[in-house]
Amino acid sequence: MRVESRIRHQGCSSMPEYPKGVSSDEEKSMQESETKALFSVIGMTCSACAGSVEKAIKRLPGIKEVAVDVLKDRTQVIFCPSSVNEETIRQTIEDIGFKATLIEETANQKCILVCRIRIVGMACTSCSGAVESVLKLVPGVQRARVALATGEAEVKCDPKLLSCKELLQAIDDIGFEAIIVGTGESRNKIQLKVDGLYNENNMQMIVSSLEGQPGIQDIHVEAELHKVSISYLADVTGPRNFIRVIESTGSGHFKATIFPERGGRGTHKQEEIIQYYNSLLWSLVFSIPVFLTSMIFMYIPVLKDGLDMKIVNMLSIGEVLRWALSTPVQFIIGRRFYAGSYKALRNGSPNMDVLVALGTNAAYFYSVYSVLRAASSPNFKSTDFFETSSMLISFILLGKYLEVLAKGKTCQAITKLMDLAPETAILLTLDDEGNVTKEEEIESQLIQKNDVIKIIPGAKVACDGFVIWGESNVNESMITGEPRPVIKRKGDAVIGGTFNENGVLHIMATKVGSESALSQIVRLVESAQMAKAPVQKFADRISKFFVPLVVFLSFSTWLAWFLAGKLNAYPKSLIPSSMDSFQLALQFGISVMVIACPCALGLATPTAVMVGTGVGASQGVLIKGGQALESAHKVECIVFDKTGTLTIGKPMVVETRLLKSMALREFYEMVAAVEVNSEHPLAKAIVEYAKKFREEEESNVWPEVKQFESITGQGVMAVVRNREVIVGNKHLMLKKNVAIPVSAENFLEETEGFAQTGILVSIDHELVGVVAISDPVKPEAQEVISILTSMQIKSILVTGDNWGTAHAVAKEVGIGTVIAEAKPEVKAEKVKDLQALNFVVAMVGDGINDSPALVAADIGMAIGAGTDIAIEAADIVLMKSNLEDVITAIDLSRYTFRRICLNYIWALAYNLIAIPVAAGALFPSTGICLPPWVAGAAMAASSLTVVCCSLLLKNYRRPKKLDALELQGLTVE
């Protein structure tokens, strides 16, 4: 049963004291339906433009959300159509100087659904390749990625054309079991178990009650499990509301709780480990006696006589015993190889299971033939290979068991991240005056937006939010990698999953469920581990013909040795007394078949990428996939932004030079009145400084402005108190015909010499003052540039600031090449120019105006404290906002890529050496041959070796120079 509910309400539930409650008009607005509109906005070039557009739209009534994307020249607006319409919004954008056009097909745009699917039964890259190929052929699938190392698929599709069930069916049709892990929908979802249900009518009654609640998007019912899955808008409602509604329905006969988690990543891995352990255990129970009777007891006279005792003709007790013991191993314990072979051959992609099945069947059925012939003949002396088939399966199961144990450790990064969220939280109830009236312990999954949560010393922060009371040191190392505790006071943001060290904090929840930073990091790391590195294509190409080639080599080996025996091409004395030439040739053929290992090649890259991205996440460096991880090691040139990247990003006014006689307070009143309308960091610095002149006043309402205009990259102008005020750089003043006296020119030169930015102010076309603003260089910047130089990496500064300031900053940190007064498109062009010179270029930035360059670069690195758009555009996110992590990211990439190369060298060398040895290349000269069961053990060991080699990445330590840098205190919060 599936019930879909229309969105009836939109807004934020709120606590009585923080923040204040909404008015009745606002409550009415919340109950209106919403509409989404997408506008093309031409003319935006930087964050100031984006801020102006966002601010202008938000002034309109009925606006719920505004998202401005400078990179794509688009603005998305969610609004209540009864309060405002698309034309009004479009006209508002044009009124502030940008060309706006409504994109009509917004309503018809395709929704994108990202399904994560666990796939059971994949043995090697041939399996993963087959699944990926089938998924890509399903109508509506836009992209499909299958990761052998995680056993999962990530499918991006159009939900209007197909459902997740159809994806599962497509995978099932080619013989693999598929389970939905999750969907990447941009909404929160909760699963509740409802006790007290007797029939379907009860469930329908509950569904009807839930349908009437605001904010519910979708309800899905599994009546047989008494399970209700609810998708909802976190801004409007939450799980506690659902539980209350369910328990108040039906006169209180129902009880609702969070549905117990089953089938999670950790659970699945544990189940797989247990399955392989049990299979291995039973296999050894049968295989060890087979091995003993064929290899050990034959050298103990008493036991040998007993085993050689004949039953029928030449059939002995030992042969019957080995046949009986090996049969369950071959067909019951080893049935997974038959099933895997069938699936692989049906899909036209033979895999490791095919090799194992062919090898064990050859040994087993030849042994059966030999035994039956001995039973029917008084003269034929049989030689069986029952120990070969049973021991081969046992060793392969041992290898797979150790492999899944090791692979489980490669997933520990995500498991540890998911375990950061505490199980319970303390919910506070407040009265109208903000006093605590009640404390209640609840499951952390029941936290709703705008709840007030108490965090006691030694407890984990239960959700994202901000401090409304208290002060404490919070350890954020598990999220950001920052080793030192950060002090949190009223108004400071906190991240869910971090550790509260000493004080008590009251925080208001702002992001819960899938919106939380922890959930987003988990999704990013999961997605990164799904993405294939370019070097993986090498293994994919080999896997297509690897198994058929091995089968051909195996048959050729048998044929060559068989013919050599018939033609007496080698001395008969080389043949063991228990064999003839046919059996010797068969042994060589089986050994070749089972010693070749496609798994080692398939696991070489993904396991290293998984561990590498996990290690990066633990150190606050989020790497978006294998391609970014691989490309970063090739970086030869890094382009740095200045503000917020090389500098702290918190500009402050350091000096004011008045050129006319007027009160400093009056000067800043007029300047702040204009700059308060701008989102530029320098404007904010001026406004904050201006507030100091009115500290005795509670209100910061500035004089009214008219005809405000923002001139991109130059400044702003407006009319204040009937006087025209222009605030900007030298270019703007010259453009507006404002004369700049020599004293002002001299002061500008002085400020630029000190790496400061000079802002000119004119009133009624007369220059009245210059404001010097400083943004201090990060303490570690100079040392970081020096280390990059020692790593043979060239550093370049590209900034929108003036030449003087840019050169002063570059000189201070040790950068020789500077490009100043660069607009966003110029930054991107510079990156492309460097690429044209065959440089592999990385871009490090933090602002919206860095986004084009971040996208254009081979590797984009976003400072974690920067804007969401910059972080979205980047390939690597530096969570701590420390420049030293640029070095960590590149060094980790180099370390990981070396490990990938080592994995490939081992995998290829193993096969190149092992196959000839198994084929008997050493036998004529040394008499050395590999029994098939030894070859099987070698095959299992090869895969395990590759995984363990990747796991050694966990021992990665960043360069010692960075540790020395931290000890010197050259890092910034």
Asked whether residue 108 is domain-assigned, the answer is no
**What pLDDT sits at residue 5?**
30
Asked whether residue 257 is domain-assigned, the answer is yes
Same domain, 268 and 405: yes
Same domain, 226 and 138: no
Asked whether residue 325 is domain-assigned, the answer is yes
Same domain, 438 and 392: no
What domain range is 468 assigned to? 433-511
CA distance 893 to 876: 11
**What pLDDT sits at residue 108?**
39
Mark which of 386, 419, 452 sits at the end of a domain: 419
Overall domain count for the chain:
7
End-to-end CA distance of the chain: 52
Same domain, 447 and 375: no
Token pair of 398 as six digits: 């041992």
**What pLDDT sits at residue 507?**
92
Q: Please give the full DSSP string across 824-865, using - where no structure is assigned.
A: HHHHHHHHHHHHHTT--EEEEE-SGGGHHHHHHSSEEEEETT
Q: What is the pTM of this model?
A: 0.64
Asked whether residue 307 is domain-assigned, the answer is yes
SS3 assignment, position 82? coil
Give the residue among 256, 150, 174 at the shortest CA–CA distance from 207. Answer: 256
Same domain, 443 and 494: yes
Same domain, 268 and 411: yes
CA distance 931 to 590: 9
Asked whether residue 89 is domain-assigned, the answer is yes
Same domain, 257 and 269: no
Asked whether residue 198 is domain-assigned, the answer is yes
Same domain, 595 and 740: no
Tell me phi and psi for residue 115, to 5 degrees: -100, 130
CATH classification of the domain holding 456: 2.70.150.10
Same domain, 311 and 386: yes
Mark which of 127, 149, 183 sits at the end of a domain: 183
For residues 121 and 347, the answer to whether their CB atoms sit within 8 Å is: no
Same domain, 284 and 404: yes
308 counts as catalytic: no
Same domain, 311 and 207: no
**What pLDDT sits at residue 381?**
74
Asked whether residue 21 is domain-assigned, the answer is no
Tell me, rounded to whole angstroms, the distance of Cα 237 from its chain centroid.
Answer: 28
Which segments within 683-765 are labelled E, that is strand?
705-711, 715-720, 723-728, 756-763
Same domain, 211 and 332: no
**What pLDDT sits at residue 874?**
75
CA distance 790 to 779: 19
CA distance 136 to 131: 9
Sites in the chain below the pLDDT cut of 50: 1-32, 105-110, 186, 262-263, 967, 969-973
Mark which of 137, 152, 183 sits at the end of a domain: 183
Asked whether residue 925 is domain-assigned, the answer is yes
CATH classification of the domain holding 129: 3.30.70.100
CATH classification of the domain holding 732: 3.40.1110.10
CA distance 314 to 319: 10
Q: Which of the residues 235, 384, 641, 850 is marked catalytic?
A: 641
**What pLDDT sits at residue 696?**
58
**What pLDDT sits at residue 848?**
58
How many Å is the maximal CA-CA distance in the chain?
A: 127
CA distance 889 to 916: 41
